[in-house]
Amino acid sequence: MNRKALAWLYEQLPDLVTKGVVPAETAERIRAFYGPLPEGMGRRILFIVFGLTGTLLVGLGIVMILGHNWDQLSRLTRLLISLGLLATAQVAAGLVLWRRADSEAWREGTAVFLTLAVGTSIALVGQTYHLVDDFKNFLLIWMLLSVPLVYLMDVKGVAGMYLAGVMVWLVPVQPGGMTKQAAWVLLALILPYCWRLFKTNRYANAAVILAWLLVLSFYACFSLTWDKHLWEILYASLFSATFFTGLLWFGDTDKAWQKPFQAVGLLGGLGMAYYLSSGPWGGRVYHYGLYPLGRGEYLMGFGLFALAAGLAVLLARRGLARFVPLGALPAVVAVGYLLQDANNSGLLITILMNIYLLGISVLVILQGVREVRLGVLNSGMLMLVALILFRFFDYSYSFIARGIAFTLIGLAFLAVNMMMARRKNGVME
Amino acid sequence: MTKNKIVLLLFTIVAAIQLSVPLNMVWQWEDIRQTGQQYQWLTTPVDPYDALRGRYVDLGFKAAQGPLASGEKLSNGQTVYATLGVDANGYAYISTVSANKPETGDYVKARALYLSGGMMHVVLPFNRYYMREDLAPAAEIAYRKSAGKDGRVIVRIKNGMGVVEQLYIGEKTIEERINSY
């Protein structure tokens, strides 16, 4: 039971006893059942945050003081400092593991310090010999030397640094060649730790931050390792699968920032849908004719589509079917591909995409009205207004075509409104 | 063995690996500094927009090109081997550029840039001279004034790798030159 709820319950108990709602004996039994109020998380987190900030500042301060008269130091002194810094950090982390392994603050602090020391000492040695720094290689070695600490010391700070490092490492990697596939290995190295963290408490701050980094670095990996062929179905399926995963396993929270999977999946999918809804799609869709079957992109496309579909079925089974349309983009894209095969001007699929966006906007609005949730209602309105504005300023269609479409859809809205008003009046009478 | 002991043991192994990386770098580069062959390179100015990097002086070399080994074709960006020679004035030059490692003589592993008039232009692997952040801009200006005239770099070469020993402007080191301003 969460602390806030328990605190409220314990606050109410004496009152309930005095007013005779609950007998004193029952109140005691409730207390015995839940046990004492757990100690506040606040102080522990504060301790860790201050510990981390402190070590970081001390480490950086030492480096800056040393850097001040760095060029007056002999090569030997510089090397002793560089290696001494690393050795000191290692001894500190080792001592904590030996004596204070139970203290999270000490583990996190010394592990971050050690990670920084690893990078600093390599960089300082490189600078001493005037080496042209190959940043990519440096980052890779640094991350690989640091990642064992995540497991040995059970530290989230280093896990976050590792994921951030991997993302930065990915940026200069050119698509093509073998190095790009190595990105997946790097990502896989941290997965068991994230998995364990998510299993214990996926809504804890550290777990949420790691989840964000994980989702973003996953997309960074994916965008680098897959070619542009069939990107519409690949990304549409991936965004849907991400969104559904979030709903299925990360949905027990009200705070938006604790839902990285939903946020990235939904916003990514919507962004794609809006992009594909503008202008004739034909010019954008790669139309190379049919590849020999078994080509990587096809298998991947089918695989991801099946994954998204499977997750949608799971959602429906859990009574969350109302969210499925929001992640139905892959199905729309698949129909789009078929339409493209029939008429490759791209007009049909662009219209289809607009219908889809109009449909889900209306669905979200209806859901907002039904559940009386203003936030949901406003999101739906925003989606609708965005669609209308995009189309209003979309110069790929003539004024006449847009004018007629606007008028017809507007009339449809008015008609539905009138029908609803009549029905409501009918009910009132 | 308890779980804690295993963790400590593994941590010790990881720590040893972490230490071995910078130690190995020191070992390798110190060996080149001690036992490598010394070469003097004349400098050239570098693109000023690219040069002011803050922490180091970007170095350019007059002799950063050499005749392409006969019958070879190189692509841009490829790793090449530049065989070194010393001219009558005691300065280093590249005698041939080839995709294959030479069997005799000192060489440098470099990156092919472009071919012009039978000469392959290359990027030498030692094109930086690190300095204190507040001195680097002044050093940059001093370097640019002297480059192509009396600026030279002493580099130790061994097994295809080179490490910059000192940057000279005239007879003075760059540090002495800046301090005399």
Q: Are A97 and B11 in contact (CB < 8 Å)?
A: yes
Task: Nearest chain B residue to A81 by CA: give it.
Answer: B22
* Per-residue pLDDT at A22: 85
Name the DSSP letter for residue A252. Answer: S
Burial class of residue A349 (count of CB atoms within 10 Å of its CB; 0-12, 13-18, 19+):
buried
What is residue A176's three-state secondary structure? coil
Q: How far is A218 from chain B (nearest CA, A)?
A: 27
Given a contact cutoff of 8 angstroms between Cβ atoms, the answer to whether B123 and A59 are in contact is no
Other beta carbons within 10 angstroms of residue A79's beta carbon come to: 21
pLDDT of chain B along its 181 residues, tens only?
Answer: 677 888 899 999 999 999 999 999 899 888 988 898 889 888 876 655 444 445 777 888 888 888 888 777 877 778 889 999 888 888 899 988 888 888 888 999 888 888 888 888 888 888 888 877 777 777 777 777 776 677 888 899 988 888 888 888 888 888 887 776 6
Given a contact cutoff of 8 angstroms between Cβ atoms, the answer to whether A150 and A104 are in contact is no
Of A325, A198, A335, nearest to A269 by C-alpha is A325
* Per-residue pLDDT at A149: 93
- Can you spell out the DSSP letters for A17-37? HHTTSS-HHHHHHHHHHH-SP
- Residue A233 vs residue A282, higher pLDDT: A233
Q: Structure tokens of A159?
A: 């896990």
Q: How far is A152 from chain B (nearest CA, A)?
A: 6
- Can you spell out the DSSP letters for A233-301? HHHHHHHHHHHHHHHHHS-S-S-GGG-HHHHHHHHHHHHHHHHHHSS-GGGTS----PPPTT-HHHHHH
Mutation target to probe the B interface, by most B beta carbons within 10 A, among A64, A98, A129, A134 is: A129
Rounded CA gap, A237 and A299, in Å?
Answer: 13
Rounded CA gap, A241 and A315, in Å?
Answer: 11
Which residues in B lie closer than 8 A to residue A131 (C-beta atoms)?
29, 128, 163
What is residue A177's three-state secondary structure? coil
Given a contact cutoff of 8 angstroms between Cβ atoms, the answer to whether A190 and A162 are in contact is yes
Q: How far is A115 from chain B (nearest CA, A)?
A: 10
Of A185-194, A312-321, B168-177, minimum mean pLDDT range: B168-177
Task: Nearest chain A residue to B166 by CA: give it.
Answer: A130
pLDDT digits (tens, 9 = 90+) for A351-394: 888 889 989 998 888 888 887 777 777 788 888 888 887 887 77
Cα distance from N-terminal residue to C-terminal residue, chain B: 65
Of A7-16, A134-143, A400-409, B158-167, minimum mean pLDDT range: A400-409
B92-98, strands of its sheet edge to edge:
B65-67, B119-123, B107-116, B79-86, B92-98
pLDDT digits (tens, 9 = 90+) for A195-230: 998 888 888 888 888 999 999 989 888 887 776 677
Angle at B123 between CA B62 and CA B129, to 5 degrees: 75
Given a contact cutoff of 8 angstroms between Cβ atoms, the answer to whether A135 and A172 are in contact is yes
Q: Structure tokens of A206?
A: 């550290």
A65 touches chain B (CB under 8 A): no
Task: Return the bridge partners of B156, or none.
Answer: B38, B163
Of A341, A385, A338, nearest to A362 by C-alpha is A385
Q: How far is B105 from chain A (nearest CA, A)?
A: 23
CA A243, A246, A252, A258 torsion: positive or negative? negative
Other beta carbons within 10 angstroms of residue B105's beta carbon come to: 11
Note the ipTM here: 0.78
B130 touches chain A (CB under 8 A): yes
Q: Are B164 and A127 in contact (CB < 8 Å)?
A: no
Is the pLDDT at A31 greater than 80, yes or no?
A: yes
Angle at A185 between CA A231 and CA A224, to 5 degrees: 25
Mutation target to probe the B interface, by most B beta carbons within 10 A, among A130, A158, A189 is: A130
Q: pLDDT class for A242, splitting at 50, 70, 90?
A: very high
Q: Structure tokens of B91?
A: 């300065």
Task: Return the bridge partners of B96, or none.
Answer: B83
B29 touches chain A (CB under 8 A): yes
Rounded CA gap, B45 and B60, in Å?
Answer: 6
% of residues, chain A, pLDDT over 70: 87
Which residues in B lie closer than 8 A to residue A153 (C-beta atoms)?
11
Q: Are A83 and B22 in contact (CB < 8 Å)?
A: yes
* Per-residue pLDDT at B101: 87
Backbone torsions φ then ψ of B114, nearest 5 degrees: -160, 160
Nearest to B8 among A98, A118, A122 (CB): A98
Name the DSSP letter for residue A70. Answer: G
Of B132, B164, B170, nearest to B39 by C-alpha is B164
Rounded CA gap, A329 and A351, in Å?
Answer: 14
Is the pLDDT at A289 greater than 50, yes or no?
A: no
What is residue B121's three-state secondary structure? strand
Task: Return the bridge partners of B80, or none.
Answer: B110
Q: Are B131 and A71 in contact (CB < 8 Å)?
A: yes
B128 touches chain A (CB under 8 A): yes
Rounded CA gap, A100 and A48, in Å?
Answer: 14
Rg (alpha carbons) of chain A, rounded to whole number: 28
Q: Structure tokens of B83?
A: 């065989």
- Can you spell out the DSSP letters for A322-378? GGGGGG-HHHHHHHHHHHHHH-TTSHHHHHHHHHHHHHHHHHHHHHHHHTT-HHHHH
Q: Are A145 and B12 in contact (CB < 8 Å)?
A: no
Q: Structure tokens of A247?
A: 């709903």
Rounded CA gap, B161 and A307, in Å?
Answer: 50
Question: Chain B neighbours among A 134-173 (CB < 8 Å)?
Answer: 141, 145, 148-149, 152-153
Is the pLDDT at A133 greater than 80, yes or no?
A: no
Total beta-carbon pairs less than 8 A apart between chain A and chain B: 83
